[in-house]
Amino acid sequence: MLLAGFVRRKPVPMVRCRTIDLEVPAEAEFVLEGYVDPDERRVEGPFGDHTGYYSLVDEYPVFHVTAVTHRRNPIYAATIVGRPPMEDCYLAKATERIFLPLLNAILPEVRDYWLPWEGVFHNITILSIAKEYPGHARRVMSALWGQGQMSFCKALVVVDHDVELTKPRQLLETILDSIDLESDVYLSEGVLDVLDHSAPDPLFGGKLGIDATRRLSGERERASLATSPVDPQSPREHVLAALRSVSPHLTDCCIPDLNCRHRPLLASLRKDGSVSGRALAKALLENPQLTPFSIVLLYDDGIDLSDGSLVLWKVFNNVDPKRDIIRVQGRMLIDATRKGPEDDHQRPWPDDIVMSPEIVERVRRRANELGIQDLLRK
Protein backbone atom coordinates (compact mmCIF):
# COMPACT_ATOMS: atom_id res chain seq x y z
CA MET A 1 0.00 0.00 0.00
CA LEU A 2 2.97 2.28 0.63
CA LEU A 3 4.19 1.72 -2.92
CA ALA A 4 0.67 2.21 -4.34
CA GLY A 5 0.39 5.50 -2.47
CA PHE A 6 3.82 6.51 -3.80
CA VAL A 7 2.67 5.87 -7.38
CA ARG A 8 -0.72 7.60 -6.85
CA ARG A 9 0.82 10.47 -4.85
CA LYS A 10 -2.03 10.11 -2.35
CA PRO A 11 -3.25 7.48 0.16
CA VAL A 12 -5.15 4.40 -1.03
CA PRO A 13 -8.73 4.21 0.38
CA MET A 14 -9.16 0.95 2.31
CA VAL A 15 -12.18 -1.13 3.48
CA ARG A 16 -12.66 -4.18 5.70
CA CYS A 17 -12.87 -7.64 4.16
CA ARG A 18 -16.04 -9.73 4.55
CA THR A 19 -14.59 -12.95 5.99
CA ILE A 20 -11.09 -12.15 7.29
CA ASP A 21 -9.62 -9.48 9.56
CA LEU A 22 -7.77 -7.49 6.90
CA GLU A 23 -8.25 -4.30 4.90
CA VAL A 24 -8.11 -4.13 1.10
CA PRO A 25 -8.21 -1.28 -1.47
CA ALA A 26 -11.77 0.04 -1.63
CA GLU A 27 -11.63 0.45 -5.42
CA ALA A 28 -10.16 -2.97 -6.21
CA GLU A 29 -11.63 -4.65 -9.29
CA PHE A 30 -11.63 -8.04 -7.54
CA VAL A 31 -10.77 -9.21 -4.01
CA LEU A 32 -10.07 -12.85 -3.18
CA GLU A 33 -10.29 -13.48 0.56
CA GLY A 34 -8.97 -16.64 2.18
CA TYR A 35 -6.22 -18.31 4.15
CA VAL A 36 -3.02 -20.34 3.73
CA ASP A 37 -1.96 -23.24 5.95
CA PRO A 38 1.87 -22.96 6.16
CA ASP A 39 2.21 -26.76 6.32
CA GLU A 40 0.05 -27.53 3.28
CA ARG A 41 1.65 -27.93 -0.16
CA ARG A 42 0.33 -29.19 -3.49
CA VAL A 43 2.03 -29.87 -6.80
CA GLU A 44 1.39 -27.27 -9.52
CA GLY A 45 2.71 -26.47 -12.97
CA PRO A 46 4.08 -26.35 -15.50
CA PHE A 47 2.81 -22.86 -16.42
CA GLY A 48 3.84 -20.64 -19.31
CA ASP A 49 5.67 -17.83 -17.52
CA HIS A 50 7.17 -14.42 -18.22
CA THR A 51 10.61 -16.00 -18.65
CA GLY A 52 9.47 -17.43 -22.00
CA TYR A 53 9.68 -20.96 -20.59
CA TYR A 54 7.22 -23.34 -18.94
CA SER A 55 7.96 -23.10 -15.22
CA LEU A 56 9.14 -26.28 -13.52
CA VAL A 57 6.67 -28.46 -11.60
CA ASP A 58 7.02 -28.05 -7.84
CA GLU A 59 5.10 -28.02 -4.55
CA TYR A 60 3.63 -24.66 -3.51
CA PRO A 61 1.39 -23.30 -0.72
CA VAL A 62 -2.39 -23.71 -1.10
CA PHE A 63 -4.77 -20.74 -0.93
CA HIS A 64 -8.28 -21.53 0.38
CA VAL A 65 -10.85 -18.98 -0.85
CA THR A 66 -13.48 -17.86 1.66
CA ALA A 67 -15.02 -15.02 -0.38
CA VAL A 68 -14.80 -13.22 -3.72
CA THR A 69 -15.96 -9.60 -4.01
CA HIS A 70 -15.72 -7.04 -6.82
CA ARG A 71 -16.71 -3.53 -7.78
CA ARG A 72 -19.55 -2.80 -10.21
CA ASN A 73 -18.67 -3.74 -13.79
CA PRO A 74 -15.18 -4.97 -12.85
CA ILE A 75 -12.36 -5.21 -15.34
CA TYR A 76 -10.21 -8.35 -15.24
CA ALA A 77 -6.73 -7.19 -16.18
CA ALA A 78 -4.49 -9.76 -17.87
CA THR A 79 -1.30 -9.80 -19.89
CA ILE A 80 0.21 -12.20 -22.42
CA VAL A 81 3.62 -13.57 -21.44
CA GLY A 82 6.20 -15.58 -23.32
CA ARG A 83 9.51 -15.11 -25.08
CA PRO A 84 10.28 -11.38 -24.97
CA PRO A 85 9.26 -8.94 -26.16
CA MET A 86 5.70 -9.58 -24.93
CA GLU A 87 3.15 -7.38 -23.19
CA ASP A 88 4.71 -7.71 -19.74
CA CYS A 89 7.99 -6.24 -21.02
CA TYR A 90 6.52 -2.78 -20.54
CA LEU A 91 6.15 -3.53 -16.84
CA ALA A 92 9.94 -3.82 -16.74
CA LYS A 93 10.25 -0.36 -18.27
CA ALA A 94 7.77 1.05 -15.73
CA THR A 95 9.71 -0.68 -12.93
CA GLU A 96 12.91 1.08 -14.01
CA ARG A 97 11.39 4.53 -13.92
CA ILE A 98 9.36 4.08 -10.71
CA PHE A 99 12.17 2.56 -8.66
CA LEU A 100 15.08 4.73 -9.82
CA PRO A 101 14.40 7.46 -7.18
CA LEU A 102 14.14 4.77 -4.48
CA LEU A 103 17.39 3.19 -5.66
CA ASN A 104 19.06 6.63 -5.57
CA ALA A 105 18.03 7.02 -1.94
CA ILE A 106 20.36 4.10 -1.13
CA LEU A 107 22.95 4.50 -3.90
CA PRO A 108 23.05 8.16 -5.00
CA GLU A 109 25.95 7.43 -7.37
CA VAL A 110 23.62 5.46 -9.68
CA ARG A 111 22.66 7.76 -12.55
CA ASP A 112 20.41 5.39 -14.46
CA TYR A 113 19.73 1.71 -15.01
CA TRP A 114 18.22 -0.55 -17.65
CA LEU A 115 16.48 -3.92 -17.44
CA PRO A 116 16.80 -5.41 -20.96
CA TRP A 117 13.63 -7.22 -22.01
CA GLU A 118 15.59 -10.33 -22.89
CA GLY A 119 16.70 -10.58 -19.27
CA VAL A 120 13.05 -11.12 -18.16
CA PHE A 121 13.32 -8.63 -15.27
CA HIS A 122 15.67 -10.52 -12.94
CA ASN A 123 18.50 -11.92 -15.06
CA ILE A 124 20.47 -8.80 -16.03
CA THR A 125 20.68 -5.16 -14.95
CA ILE A 126 22.91 -2.52 -16.55
CA LEU A 127 23.74 0.53 -14.44
CA SER A 128 25.54 3.79 -15.09
CA ILE A 129 27.30 5.33 -12.10
CA ALA A 130 29.30 8.43 -11.23
CA LYS A 131 32.50 6.59 -10.33
CA GLU A 132 34.53 8.29 -7.59
CA TYR A 133 37.14 5.84 -6.26
CA PRO A 134 38.92 2.54 -7.03
CA GLY A 135 36.63 -0.46 -6.70
CA HIS A 136 33.50 1.69 -6.76
CA ALA A 137 31.80 -0.50 -9.39
CA ARG A 138 32.38 -3.65 -7.29
CA ARG A 139 30.94 -1.91 -4.25
CA VAL A 140 27.76 -1.02 -6.20
CA MET A 141 27.41 -4.64 -7.37
CA SER A 142 27.67 -5.95 -3.81
CA ALA A 143 25.17 -3.36 -2.57
CA LEU A 144 22.59 -4.29 -5.21
CA TRP A 145 22.98 -8.04 -4.64
CA GLY A 146 22.10 -7.34 -1.02
CA GLN A 147 19.13 -5.09 -1.77
CA GLY A 148 15.59 -6.56 -1.70
CA GLN A 149 14.50 -8.20 -4.94
CA MET A 150 17.62 -6.93 -6.69
CA SER A 151 19.33 -9.79 -4.83
CA PHE A 152 17.74 -12.15 -7.40
CA CYS A 153 19.54 -10.44 -10.28
CA LYS A 154 21.91 -12.89 -11.95
CA ALA A 155 24.12 -10.45 -13.89
CA LEU A 156 25.09 -6.83 -13.19
CA VAL A 157 26.97 -4.64 -15.66
CA VAL A 158 28.32 -1.27 -14.49
CA VAL A 159 29.27 1.50 -16.94
CA ASP A 160 30.26 5.16 -16.55
CA HIS A 161 27.70 7.92 -16.08
CA ASP A 162 28.14 9.29 -19.62
CA VAL A 163 27.34 5.99 -21.37
CA GLU A 164 23.95 6.05 -23.12
CA LEU A 165 21.74 3.16 -21.95
CA THR A 166 18.99 3.73 -24.51
CA LYS A 167 21.11 2.66 -27.51
CA PRO A 168 21.61 -1.11 -27.07
CA ARG A 169 23.97 -1.74 -30.00
CA GLN A 170 26.24 1.17 -29.07
CA LEU A 171 26.13 0.09 -25.43
CA LEU A 172 27.11 -3.50 -26.28
CA GLU A 173 30.01 -2.27 -28.40
CA THR A 174 31.18 0.04 -25.61
CA ILE A 175 31.20 -2.81 -23.09
CA LEU A 176 32.93 -5.28 -25.44
CA ASP A 177 35.46 -2.65 -26.47
CA SER A 178 36.53 -1.67 -22.98
CA ILE A 179 36.53 -4.66 -20.62
CA ASP A 180 39.34 -7.00 -19.68
CA LEU A 181 37.90 -10.53 -19.73
CA GLU A 182 40.15 -11.55 -16.83
CA SER A 183 40.01 -8.64 -14.39
CA ASP A 184 36.61 -7.08 -15.20
CA VAL A 185 34.46 -10.24 -15.20
CA TYR A 186 33.59 -11.03 -11.60
CA LEU A 187 32.05 -14.41 -10.70
CA SER A 188 30.17 -14.86 -7.44
CA GLU A 189 27.12 -16.77 -6.20
CA GLY A 190 23.94 -16.08 -4.30
CA VAL A 191 20.15 -16.37 -4.23
CA LEU A 192 18.20 -16.64 -7.49
CA ASP A 193 14.61 -16.22 -8.57
CA VAL A 194 12.48 -19.36 -8.17
CA LEU A 195 11.92 -19.34 -11.95
CA ASP A 196 15.63 -19.55 -12.77
CA HIS A 197 16.20 -22.94 -14.38
CA SER A 198 19.87 -22.68 -15.33
CA ALA A 199 21.51 -23.21 -11.94
CA PRO A 200 22.39 -26.76 -10.81
CA ASP A 201 20.39 -26.17 -7.61
CA PRO A 202 17.08 -24.34 -7.18
CA LEU A 203 17.05 -20.82 -5.67
CA PHE A 204 20.86 -20.53 -5.51
CA GLY A 205 23.56 -20.29 -8.14
CA GLY A 206 26.23 -18.29 -9.94
CA LYS A 207 26.30 -14.51 -10.29
CA LEU A 208 28.13 -12.42 -12.87
CA GLY A 209 29.43 -8.89 -12.42
CA ILE A 210 31.04 -6.89 -15.24
CA ASP A 211 32.95 -3.69 -14.53
CA ALA A 212 33.03 -1.65 -17.76
CA THR A 213 33.88 1.65 -16.06
CA ARG A 214 37.03 3.65 -16.79
CA ARG A 215 40.10 2.90 -14.70
CA LEU A 216 40.98 5.39 -11.98
CA SER A 217 44.32 6.07 -10.32
CA GLY A 218 44.97 3.18 -7.96
CA GLU A 219 43.27 0.56 -10.18
CA ARG A 220 45.33 -1.94 -12.14
CA GLU A 221 45.51 -1.21 -15.87
CA ARG A 222 43.62 -3.48 -18.24
CA ALA A 223 45.63 -6.09 -20.12
CA SER A 224 46.11 -5.68 -23.86
CA LEU A 225 43.96 -7.87 -26.07
CA ALA A 226 45.80 -10.97 -27.31
CA THR A 227 43.57 -11.80 -30.28
CA SER A 228 44.06 -11.41 -34.02
CA PRO A 229 41.96 -8.94 -36.01
CA VAL A 230 39.03 -10.35 -37.93
CA ASP A 231 39.73 -10.47 -41.66
CA PRO A 232 36.62 -9.04 -43.37
CA GLN A 233 37.52 -11.05 -46.47
CA SER A 234 37.68 -14.32 -44.53
CA PRO A 235 34.58 -16.27 -45.52
CA ARG A 236 32.25 -17.67 -42.90
CA GLU A 237 32.90 -21.13 -44.33
CA HIS A 238 36.52 -20.99 -43.06
CA VAL A 239 35.31 -20.27 -39.52
CA LEU A 240 32.73 -23.05 -39.75
CA ALA A 241 35.41 -25.48 -40.97
CA ALA A 242 37.57 -24.57 -37.96
CA LEU A 243 34.63 -25.23 -35.64
CA ARG A 244 33.95 -28.61 -37.24
CA SER A 245 37.61 -29.55 -36.89
CA VAL A 246 37.10 -29.19 -33.13
CA SER A 247 33.91 -31.29 -33.11
CA PRO A 248 31.39 -32.56 -35.69
CA HIS A 249 28.70 -31.55 -33.18
CA LEU A 250 29.39 -27.88 -34.04
CA THR A 251 27.02 -27.33 -36.94
CA ASP A 252 26.67 -23.61 -37.69
CA CYS A 253 28.05 -20.18 -36.82
CA CYS A 254 27.36 -16.46 -37.00
CA ILE A 255 29.77 -13.52 -36.74
CA PRO A 256 27.88 -10.47 -35.40
CA ASP A 257 28.74 -7.19 -37.13
CA LEU A 258 30.04 -5.35 -34.06
CA ASN A 259 32.79 -2.75 -33.96
CA CYS A 260 34.69 -3.72 -30.80
CA ARG A 261 37.93 -5.29 -29.55
CA HIS A 262 36.29 -8.40 -28.15
CA ARG A 263 34.67 -9.95 -31.21
CA PRO A 264 32.05 -12.61 -30.35
CA LEU A 265 31.50 -15.79 -32.36
CA LEU A 266 28.14 -17.57 -32.10
CA ALA A 267 28.17 -21.32 -32.74
CA SER A 268 25.52 -24.05 -32.82
CA LEU A 269 26.12 -27.23 -30.85
CA ARG A 270 24.13 -30.39 -31.58
CA LYS A 271 23.75 -32.07 -28.20
CA ASP A 272 22.90 -35.77 -27.96
CA GLY A 273 23.96 -36.46 -24.38
CA SER A 274 27.55 -37.31 -25.32
CA VAL A 275 29.08 -33.83 -25.49
CA SER A 276 29.04 -30.67 -23.38
CA GLY A 277 30.14 -27.12 -24.03
CA ARG A 278 32.61 -27.29 -21.15
CA ALA A 279 34.33 -30.30 -22.73
CA LEU A 280 34.91 -28.33 -25.95
CA ALA A 281 35.98 -25.07 -24.31
CA LYS A 282 39.75 -25.58 -24.25
CA ALA A 283 39.93 -26.83 -27.86
CA LEU A 284 37.79 -23.94 -29.11
CA LEU A 285 39.66 -21.23 -27.22
CA GLU A 286 43.09 -22.58 -28.22
CA ASN A 287 42.28 -23.19 -31.90
CA PRO A 288 44.62 -20.87 -33.87
CA GLN A 289 42.02 -20.31 -36.60
CA LEU A 290 39.54 -18.96 -34.03
CA THR A 291 41.89 -16.47 -32.30
CA PRO A 292 40.17 -13.43 -33.91
CA PHE A 293 37.25 -14.14 -31.57
CA SER A 294 37.83 -13.59 -27.87
CA ILE A 295 34.30 -14.68 -26.87
CA VAL A 296 32.71 -17.90 -28.18
CA LEU A 297 29.02 -18.45 -27.39
CA LEU A 298 27.40 -21.87 -27.82
CA TYR A 299 23.72 -22.34 -28.66
CA ASP A 300 21.53 -25.35 -29.30
CA ASP A 301 21.37 -26.60 -32.86
CA GLY A 302 18.40 -25.04 -34.66
CA ILE A 303 18.56 -21.64 -32.93
CA ASP A 304 18.48 -18.74 -35.41
CA LEU A 305 21.88 -17.20 -34.63
CA SER A 306 21.07 -14.08 -36.66
CA ASP A 307 18.16 -13.17 -34.34
CA GLY A 308 19.82 -10.79 -31.89
CA SER A 309 16.95 -10.73 -29.41
CA LEU A 310 16.71 -14.53 -29.39
CA VAL A 311 20.42 -15.15 -28.76
CA LEU A 312 20.50 -12.58 -25.94
CA TRP A 313 17.43 -14.18 -24.34
CA LYS A 314 19.11 -17.58 -24.45
CA VAL A 315 22.33 -16.24 -22.89
CA PHE A 316 20.55 -14.40 -20.07
CA ASN A 317 18.30 -17.37 -19.23
CA ASN A 318 20.36 -20.50 -19.95
CA VAL A 319 23.70 -19.60 -18.33
CA ASP A 320 24.80 -20.32 -14.78
CA PRO A 321 27.88 -18.07 -14.62
CA LYS A 322 29.98 -20.29 -12.33
CA ARG A 323 29.42 -23.41 -14.44
CA ASP A 324 28.88 -22.11 -17.98
CA ILE A 325 31.55 -19.39 -18.33
CA ILE A 326 35.02 -20.79 -19.00
CA ARG A 327 38.08 -18.56 -19.39
CA VAL A 328 41.37 -19.58 -21.02
CA GLN A 329 44.27 -17.11 -21.36
CA GLY A 330 42.18 -13.95 -21.64
CA ARG A 331 39.46 -15.48 -23.83
CA MET A 332 36.06 -16.80 -22.86
CA LEU A 333 33.47 -19.44 -23.76
CA ILE A 334 29.83 -19.01 -22.73
CA ASP A 335 27.61 -22.10 -22.94
CA ALA A 336 23.98 -21.04 -23.53
CA THR A 337 22.72 -24.50 -24.54
CA ARG A 338 20.16 -26.65 -22.73
CA LYS A 339 21.84 -28.50 -19.89
CA GLY A 340 21.57 -32.17 -18.92
CA PRO A 341 23.47 -34.87 -17.03
CA GLU A 342 26.45 -34.48 -19.37
CA ASP A 343 26.74 -30.92 -17.99
CA ASP A 344 26.34 -32.06 -14.34
CA HIS A 345 22.82 -30.60 -14.40
CA GLN A 346 20.37 -33.03 -12.81
CA ARG A 347 17.32 -30.75 -12.58
CA PRO A 348 14.64 -30.84 -15.31
CA TRP A 349 15.09 -28.32 -18.11
CA PRO A 350 11.92 -26.47 -19.19
CA ASP A 351 10.66 -26.15 -22.75
CA ASP A 352 10.28 -22.85 -24.58
CA ILE A 353 6.75 -21.46 -24.62
CA VAL A 354 5.16 -21.95 -28.03
CA MET A 355 1.83 -20.73 -29.40
CA SER A 356 -0.39 -23.31 -31.05
CA PRO A 357 -0.73 -22.97 -34.86
CA GLU A 358 -4.45 -22.22 -34.40
CA ILE A 359 -3.75 -19.24 -32.14
CA VAL A 360 -1.00 -17.94 -34.44
CA GLU A 361 -3.39 -18.07 -37.40
CA ARG A 362 -6.17 -16.32 -35.45
CA VAL A 363 -3.82 -13.49 -34.53
CA ARG A 364 -2.69 -13.13 -38.14
CA ARG A 365 -6.30 -12.93 -39.32
CA ARG A 366 -7.12 -10.26 -36.74
CA ALA A 367 -3.87 -8.30 -37.11
CA ASN A 368 -5.49 -5.21 -38.66
CA GLU A 369 -8.27 -5.17 -36.07
CA LEU A 370 -5.72 -5.45 -33.24
CA GLY A 371 -3.41 -2.85 -34.76
CA ILE A 372 -0.36 -5.15 -34.79
CA GLN A 373 0.06 -5.77 -38.51
CA ASP A 374 3.40 -3.89 -38.59
CA LEU A 375 4.73 -6.01 -35.70
CA LEU A 376 3.84 -9.23 -37.52
CA ARG A 377 5.76 -8.06 -40.60
CA LYS A 378 8.85 -7.63 -38.42
Catalytic residues: 49
Kind and range of the H or E run holding 70: strand 58-70
- Strand (E) positions, 314-364? 325-328, 331-335
Nearest 5°: the CA angle 130, 134, 137 is 50
Contacts 24+ apart (CB under 8 A), 221-226: 222/178, 222/179, 222/180, 222/183, 222/184, 223/180, 223/182, 223/183, 223/330, 225/261, 225/262, 225/294, 225/330, 226/329, 226/330, 226/331
Contact 210, 158 (CB under 8 A): yes
Contact 63, 34 (CB under 8 A): yes
In angstroms, rounded to a whole number, what is the distance separating the alpha carbons of residues 117 and 309? 9
**CA 228 remoteness from chain centre:** 30
Q: Strand, coil or helix: what is 359?
A: helix
In angstroms, rounded to a whole number, what is the distance separating the alpha carbons of residues 8 and 189? 37
Largest CA distance in the chain: 74
At residue 180, φ and ψ (nearest 5 deg) are -105, 120
